[in-house]
Amino acid sequence: MGKIRGDGKSQSLFIPSEESRDKMKSSSQKLGVSVAELAETEEGLRLRTTNKDINKSFRQRNIDQHKEGQASGQKTIGKNIDCGIQVKVIVPGIKLEFRDTAKSVHCDDDLGNPVTCREDAEQSSVCLASGSNGCVVGCKISGMEAVAKRSYCFIDPDDGKPIYSDANGIIREAGVLTGLEQHARDHPGFINIVPFMGAGVTSSGEPLIFLEKADNSLERQLSKGALSLSQLSDLGQDLFSGLACMSSLNLVHQDIKPANLLLKGQTLWVADFGETTSKTGFASSGIDGVVLADNERVAGTREIKPFHATFEPPLPASDIWASGLTLLTMLDPQKMLDSDRAFLNQFHSFPFDQLPYIQLSEEQQQQLREQIHGHLDSFLEESLKGDDARFIPALADFFYQVFEPDCNQRISAHDAARALKMYQKTIFRH
C-alpha cells in the first residue's frame, strides 16, 4: 500500500515547507478556510503557547536546581522531598518502616485493616479499582471526596509485621507529585496532573497517598466505544500538556496508558506516577535516597515502549510513543485493546530489533520508518470511515512524528499539544 502522505521523514508542523504550504492552500479550499486564517491561527497558537516568561522561568529553575544540587548535594525524594511519609530502611530493598511527617495528611475514614490481595480488596464496599499490586478506595479528606491508594501487604513470618509490596510505588508517586507542586505548579500543563491531596501513614504503619476523586478512567470510557476526532483532540491536548509539564523537570512517566489516565468532567489527568523517574533531579533516586543507575530506572509496561527501549535509558520521548498508542486506542479501542494484541504485536515487530536505532544504516533506518508509516496508514484507513476519512492525511502526518523511530527527532509533548490544538481550530471544526 502506498504512503498516505509525506516522504517518510519527520517534518515540523510549525515550519511549513513550500510543499506543505501548497497542501495548506489545497486543504483550505476544500474546507472553506482561507490560507490567511490558517496562518493567523498557527501564528496565534505559536504566540500563545510559547510564553517567554514561562520558558525563562523553567530554564532558570533548572539552572538554579543544578547549582543548588552542586552546592548542597542532590535533592532526592527519600531525603529532601517531604511528601508526608518518612521512610526508614530496615532491610535494603525488602523491609521498610514508615512514619508521619509535619506534612502528613489523614483521611476522615477508618480504612480498616491492611489489604492482603486483590480478592480481599474487591470485597470492600469502598474499593473503586484493584490491580496486581494495590487498590484504590474511596474516602474523605476534611469532608472532601477523595481516593486513597493502598498497597497489598503480607505478614513477615519473623516478626509478624506487615510488609507492603508496592510501598515503593506509593512513596515515589507521593514524592513526584510533591516535587511537581513545588517546582512546576506555574506550568500551564500542571492542571492536567492528577490533583494531589497529600500522603500519610496509618496507626498500623501503612503508607497512603490521597488524590482528588475522578469521574472515570480513560480505559473505562473507551470500553464503551471509540471517541470522536474532536474528543481525541481535546483529550490528546490534555495528555501532551501534562507530559510537557513533566518534561519541564525532565521527568519520564514510563507507564502512559488508558488505565493510568483519569477523566474529570471534560479534562484529562495524567495519573499513577509510581514508575516515574528522571536522569537528574529529585526523581533520580530510590525512596531510600540513593541515586539509581540507568538500568535501575527502567520500569513500566513493556508493551507500550518503543522497540529500542532495551538499548536506552528512560526518556521523555518514550512517553510520546506510549501516548501515541493511547491516541490510537481512542480511535479504535476494539483493535488496540484486543486480548490477543494482534495489532500491537505487528506494530512492534520491527526488523533489526537486535540493534539500537543509532547503529542502523541510513537504508535500514528508512526501511524501519516506512514500515511504521505503513502500519499507521492501514490503521487509519481501517478505523476512520465516512466523513472522518477526509482527516486521514492530517492525522497521518501527526502520527508519523509521534512514532518517529529516532527518539531525538520525535515530536515533543509541547509541540504535540500545539499540533492538536491547531487541528482542532482549523480542521476538525469543519
Q: Do residue 329 and residue 194 come from a single domain?
A: no
Q: What is the pLDDT of residue 305?
A: 64
Backbone Cα Rg of the chain: 23
| Domain C-terminal end among 170, 196, 212 | 212
DSSP 37: H
Give domain status of residue 420, yes or no.
yes
Q: Do residue 250 and residue 196 come from a single domain?
A: no
CATH number at residue 202: 3.30.200.20
Q: Do residue 237 and residue 317 come from a single domain?
A: yes
DSSP 274: T
Alpha-helical runs (H) found in 209-271: 218-222, 229-247
Taking alpha carbons only, the member of 308, 304, 336 closest to residue 405 is 308
Give domain status of residue 61, yes or no.
no
Give domain status of residue 75, yes or no.
no
Give domain status of residue 72, yes or no.
no
Distances (CA, A) of 126 to 118, 129, 140, 147, 425: 13, 9, 11, 10, 42
Dihedral in degrees, nearest 10, Cα atoms 230, 232, 237, 240: -170
CA–CA dist 104, 82 (Å, integer): 9
Give domain status of residue 77, yes or no.
no
Q: Which residues contact 427 (CB under 8 A, 6 or more apart)?
A: 27, 31, 391, 394
- The residue segments making up the domain with residue 201 are 85-212
Q: What is the pLDDT of residue 231?
A: 95
pTM attached to this predicted model: 0.82
Residue with cell 517546582: 183
Give yes or no for a contact between 238 and 418, defined as CB atoms under 8 angstroms apart.
no
| Domain C-terminal end among 212, 246, 267 | 212
Q: Do residue 290 and residue 375 come from a single domain?
A: yes
Which region holds residue 32: left if phi is over 0, alpha if psi is between -120 and 50, else beta? left
Q: What angle, 0 to 180 degrees and rounded to 10, lies between the N-to-C axes of helices 316-331 and 362-383?
A: 30
Q: Do residue 200 and residue 296 come from a single domain?
A: no
CA–CA dist 404, 252 (Å, integer): 18
Q: Do residue 262 and residue 370 come from a single domain?
A: yes
Dihedral in degrees, nearest 10, Cα atoms 419, 421, 427, 428: 120
- Total domain count, the chain: 2
Q: What is the pLDDT of residue 308?
A: 52
Q: Which residues contact 401 (CB under 8 A, 6 or more apart)?
A: 10, 11, 13, 410, 411, 416, 419
Q: Which residues contact 50 (CB under 8 A, 6 or more apart)?
A: none
Exposure of 123 by Cβ count < 10 A (0-12 exposed, 13-18 middle, 19+ buried)?
Answer: exposed
Q: Do residue 319 and residue 408 come from a single domain?
A: yes
| Domain C-terminal end among 212, 245, 277 | 212
CA–CA dist 93, 112 (Å, integer): 27
Q: What is the pLDDT of residue 394?
A: 93
Q: What is the pLDDT of residue 14?
A: 39
Give yes or no for a contact between 213 and 146, defined as CB atoms under 8 angstroms apart.
yes
Q: Do residue 362 and residue 220 come from a single domain?
A: yes
Q: What is the pLDDT of residue 11?
A: 40
Give domain status of residue 26, yes or no.
yes
What DSSP assignment string belongs to 216-228? EEHHHHHTT-PPP
The pairing of beta strand 216-217 with beta strand 261-264: antiparallel
Q: State the number of CA atoms in the 13 A half-sphere of 277 facing the CB.
A: 26
Give domain status of residue 22, yes or no.
yes
**Residue 99 pairs with which residues in a beta bridge?**
86
Q: Do residue 283 and residue 189 come from a single domain?
A: no
SS (H, E, C) 295-312: HHHCCCCHHHCCHHHHHC
- Per-residue confidence in pLDDT tens, the chain, 430 aa: 445 554 444 344 433 344 444 443 444 344 333 333 333 343 333 333 334 434 444 445 544 544 454 443 455 665 567 899 988 877 766 678 899 999 999 999 888 888 999 998 988 888 999 888 899 999 999 999 999 999 999 888 888 888 898 888 898 899 999 999 988 999 999 999 999 999 999 988 999 999 999 999 999 999 999 999 999 999 999 999 999 999 999 899 999 999 999 999 999 999 999 889 888 777 877 766 666 666 666 666 666 666 554 556 788 998 999 999 999 999 999 999 887 788 888 888 877 767 788 888 999 999 999 999 999 999 999 999 999 999 999 999 999 999 998 988 999 999 999 999 999 888 776 5
Q: Do residue 201 and residue 240 come from a single domain?
A: no
Q: How many CB atoms lie within 10 A of CB 334?
A: 12
Q: Do residue 205 and residue 239 come from a single domain?
A: no
Q: Do residue 285 and residue 357 come from a single domain?
A: yes
* The three grid cell numbers given for residue 250, joined into one nine-digit string: 525532565
Give domain status of residue 80, yes or no.
no
CATH number at residue 382: 1.10.510.10
